[in-house]
Amino acid sequence: MLNNFERVKVLSEALPFIQKFAGRTIVIKYGGSAMQNQVLKNKVIEDILFLSYIGLSPVLVHGGGPIINSWLNRLNIESKFDKGVRVTSLEAMEVVEMVLVGKVNQELVGLINKKKGKAIGLSGKDARLIMASQFFQSSGNFVGKIDSVNVDILKLLIKEGYIPVITSVATSLEGQAYNINADTVAGRIAEALSAEKLILLTDTSGIMRDINNPTTLVKLANSFQVDLLKKQKIISGGMIPKVDCCIQAIRNGVKSAHIIDGRVDHALLLEILTKEGIGSMLI
């Protein structure tokens, strides 16, 4: 337990980071996998509020993989993945939209606002935030590729002190919903906002050489090293869209990209307000 002196010391050590990042946008992707524990979820929400109160502009993008799977299961619709991205039939798309927009998004918005935050929930359909078209040739797969992001609506909300909470359902001009991996959405939003940081909160320590051994955490990796880890199949499944969007975001002007463990208490504050940080940083 810290005594009062130590507590104040810790606080004052955060000052340079607070000064450095005040007024800057931080895009945080909160993965469905790291959303399973209610106590931890509340801590993530508190960290986001804390960041907002000390003058940073957090933008939250969320996934919901396990929750979608459980609803698809209940409805007897099969869940299929290809390179970490969900294969989405029209039937599955309907469920994805209902679960992400109606349940996960509104729950996160409710939790932030319950703690006196100013969260506003958005899907890609709101104000045409995320416009998309079909990614695959086959007509039965409603995975989308992002064509554009309406950054104006986000800037407007951020300027007025709102915390946008964005779900990864996009829309075509005709109003067809498309499913897009939430990491990819977070990356594109971070780019469009020229964010200071893109932080992906997930359910592992970061990129690991051996997924069962946290001491094999890759603390720093560039695009060349990431390509190699992908070729060696060390990076697989849901980690693929993460590293891809981090590398792309950095190429397109985001200052830094991090994959960190959302199961660690106050992972966000550790990453943003301390020198060491945690998890994997992509450069």
Which residues would be at the binding site for Mg ion (CB under 5 A)? 238
- Closer CB to Mg ion, 117 or 262, in the complex: 262
- Selected from 26, 28, 34, 129, the binder of ligand ATP by CB under 6 A is 34
Amino acid identity at 31:
G
- Given a contact cutoff of 8 angstroms between Cβ atoms, the answer to whether 65 and 235 are in contact is no
Q: Taking Cα atoms as reference points, which of 147, 142, 14 lies closest to residue 89?
A: 142
Closer CB to ligand ATP, 52 or 184, in the complex = 184
Neighbours of 254 (CB within 10 A): 25
Point out the residue whose Cβ comes nearest to Mg ion: 238
In the range 63-92, which residues lie near ligand ATP by CB under 6 A? 63-65, 84
* Count of beta carbons in the 10 Å neighbourhood of residue 226: 24
Q: CB-side exposure of 171: number of CA atoms within 13 Å? A: 14
With binding defined as CB under 6 A, does residue 272 bind ligand ATP? Answer: no
In the complex, minimum distance from the CB of residue 179 to ligand ATP, in angstroms, rounded to a whole number: 11
Q: Could you tell me which of 96, 88, 108 has the C-alpha nearest to residue 35?
A: 108
Give buried/exposed letters for 69-79 (b at 16+ CB in 10 A, else e).
bebbeeeebeb
CB 188 within 8 A of CB 250: no
* Binders of ligand ATP in range 204-263 (CB under 6 A): 204, 207-208, 211, 234-239
Give the number of residues in contact with ligand ATP, rule: CB under 6 A: 22
Does position 36 interact with ligand ATP (CB under 6 A)? The reply is no
Site residues (vs ligand ATP, CB under 6 A): 31-34, 63-65, 84, 182-183, 202-204, 207-208, 211, 234-239
